[in-house]
Amino acid sequence: MERNKKEIIYALSVKHKKSLKEIEEIVNHQFKFTAMIISSGNFETIRLPYFGKFTVDKRRVKHINRLKNEKDSK
C-alpha cells in the first residue's frame, strides 16, 4: 500500500494530536538538515536511521563545477 506525503502527515497529526503544520515541519526538517550539511561543502556523510546514507562524491562536484564554468564562459 503506497501512501503519499500528505496522507502520512495527516495520519501522524491525528495520531499524535498535533497540527498539520507542526507535523509537516517535523517531517521536512530531516531533509532540510541533510541539504544544509551537504551544501556546506565539507563532504560529510549523513545517515538518517531507517532511511539511508547520503553523501557527496567529490569527483561529481568537480564535474558539476566544470560544467557550470563552461556554461558561464559561453
Bridge-partner residues for 46, per DSSP? 54
Tell me the per-residue pLDDT of 42-74, one tens digit each, with 9 for 90 and over.
778 889 888 889 887 777 777 778 888 887 776
Nine cell digits for residue 34: 541533510
Nine cell digits for residue 38: 551537504
| pLDDT for residue 59 | 77
Sign of the dihedral defined by the CA atoms of residues 19, 36, 58, 74, in that order: positive
pLDDT-derived band at 1 (thresholds 50, 70, 90) equals: very low
Rounded CA separation 14/26 (Å): 14
Instruction: Kindly report the pTM of this predicted structure.
Output: 0.58
